Amino acid sequence: MKTRSFQQVDVFTDTAFLGNPLAVVLDGEGLSDAQMQAFARWTQLSETTFVLPPTPEGAAGGADYRVRIFTPGAELPFAGHPTLGTAHAWLNAGGKPRQSGQLVQECGVGLVSLKSVDGRWAFAAPPLQRQTPAPALLAEVLAALGLHADEVLAAQDLNNGPHWLGLLIDSVDSLLALEPDHAALKRLNTKVGVAAKRETNPSGLIRRANREARAFASSTRIANDPTDLEVRAFAAPVGIAEDPVTGSLNASLAQWLMAEGHMPSRYSARQGTVLGRAGQVFLSQDAQGQVWVGGDVVGCIQGSVTL
């Protein structure tokens, strides 16, 4: 065991404690998979990352560093908020990019580019594979969420490294009122991302977890909220009931929703409302069709850890 540089940052927020926290071990050399997993389990954060030198292949491709990403229950090939948060921590610790204004991260899905977009760092959404979900699985997921099929505007199986079942539903208030059966989602081994456009929000009519129950209540929307899309992420299969703000999910949602005309080529999303957070993700598509996922990062803890 040795003392290693450590930071904890808050991602997708410009105000500390309102985004998604990330633990970053800035010197991961010499740690085994089991040691990394044990520390990630101990932090109990949605993700913990370990920074390493790039592999020879990564260095040849221009990587500035390599990162391994762990949830409390498993390693991920890619995740969005760890990508932005690790970049912030690496730069804050004195990391020098090979190219000014650009970063290249090596991770499980390969090389991920980052650049400044509108004054904040953004990562290039990895290539997305998507398809129509199996009807039987979709029906079971909707039952676990307490949703009726007629509340779903669109559904898609999304895979950009992490695998999500994406749902676009017809009401922000219904989205914020969801009380999923997390045990059922874990049994189905399905991570679910649910989104709703603000412009389609009805006048406060919400559906509770009981699929037959309806109740009128005052809207749960945030007053004067400038965001275009509300998002929730349920990830029981990897040990996270609900993730505060999820970059990989927002990346795949943007690629899908932009391609199908559900969202414009530039929009912002809010996530974490039900958890008392106010995460904000900025999505944009450039002239070449590449989707960029940006957000602010705030440093919270800086020191060392013995591992």
pLDDT in tens, 201-218: 444 343 333 333 223 223
d(CA 133, CA 158): 9
233: CB partners within 8 A, 6+ apart: 164, 191, 192, 193, 194, 242, 243, 246, 249, 271
What pLDDT, on the 0 to 100 scale, is given for residue 238? 86
The residue ranges of every structural domain in the chain are 3-125+295-306, 129-276
Q: How far is CA 245 from CA 109, 188, 215, 232, 289, in A?
A: 20, 22, 28, 8, 24
**Run of H or E including 67:** strand 65-70
d(CA 121, CA 103): 9
Strand 297-306 relative to strand 291-294: parallel, antiparallel, unpaired? unpaired
User: Which CATH number applies to 3-125+295-306?
Assistant: 3.10.310.10
Q: What is the mean pLDDT of residues 252-279?
A: 97
What pLDDT, on the 0 to 100 scale, is given for residue 58? 98
Per-residue pLDDT of 166-185, as tens digits, reads 999 999 999 999 999 999 99
> Which CATH homologous superfamily contains domain 129-276?
Diaminopimelate Epimerase; Chain A, domain 1 (3.10.310.10)
d(CA 307, CA 298): 24
SS3 of residue 188 by DSSP: helix
129-276 has the same fold as 3-125+295-306: yes
